[in-house]
Amino acid sequence: MFIPPGFIQRSVALRLGTVTYIEADADFWPAPPSSAVPLLFVHGFGGGSSSYEWSKVYPAFAAHPVLAPDLIGWGDSDHPDRPCTTDDYLALLGDLIDQLCPAPPLVIASSLSGAMMVRAAVEQPERLRGLFLVAPAGLADFGQDPSRSPINQIVKLPVIDQLLYRGAIATAEGIRLFLAQRQFADDSKISDDIVAAYLKSAQQPNADVAALAFVRGDLSFDLAPYLPRLTTPTVLLWGEAAQLTDVALGRRLAALNPNAIRRFEVLPGVGLTPQLEQPGVTVGLIQQWLSELAQ
């Protein structure tokens, strides 16, 4: 996996399996001050997802303890031969915070992982300093039924799901098409290194298990009932051209809790992953939120 200069990959054994994660190299950067808020960067779900998703953002925050894990089933972490459940991932996120963060962190997460972090914050708010969430959605929000989509029906068919994954998802052409259709508004921003990083993750042994569980909707839930219970200070960032989870959905979710959700930022001309499409803007917004939390 691509690792930016000044960062190293480590691993930790947790209940669900061994997780690899990126952190700042102590031999390269000065030690963060004890008052620095830890930053936990959590990638979203989808074919080839991994901590690479945040690799153009977290180098700007080396003055903080930075952690960017690959979730179980993704990237370089363990890939079980059985799919993880939503509860599995919620437990994993809690373990990552407990084991790796020296103090309650600011969690920066995207899409379904961001929705899961809302649930984690509702259950144990003392674990977190704040949330910065990019297009968080449970994908079954406000009663939506993800099982009705054509692709969902196809990946429920034995054998066909494997053929689809290997022939249409875990290929360079499939990854590039997925990024262009689902994650980027401007496909000229899809560089070869982005495709290569997603492809490497998608071709890991058993990578299809987690990816197909996600596509089938097995991990989906309705985020709406959890948001009114959120007390952790939160910023939501949404690409104006985000597919599947559009801005209208984001505004509707944000309106459920204007006390905890301090800001709802919309980036024009950006898709589902501004952290890859507009990393500089994303860095600036996270820095602004960090400053506000410090006050």
> Residue 167 above 90 pLDDT?
no
Going by C-beta distance under 8 Å and a sequence separation of 6 or more, which residues neighbour residue 18? 11, 12, 77, 78
User: What is the percentage of the chain residues whose pLDDT exceeds 70?
Assistant: 93
> Residue 158 above 60 pLDDT?
no
* Amino acid in the structure at residue 126: E
- Longest CA pairwise span in the chain (Å): 55
User: Hey, where are the domains in the chain?
Assistant: 7-294
Scanning the structure block, which residue is given the tokens 């990959």?
Answer: 9
pLDDT tens readout for residues 86-136: 999 999 999 999 999 999 999 999 999 999 999 999 999 999 999 999 999
pLDDT tens readout for residues 76-89: 999 999 999 999 99
CA separation for the pair 52, 242 (Å, rounded): 19
The distance of Cα 134 from the centroid of its chain, to the nearest Å, equals 8
pLDDT of residue 153: 52
CATH code given to domain 7-294: 3.40.50.1820
> Residue 162 above 70 pLDDT?
no
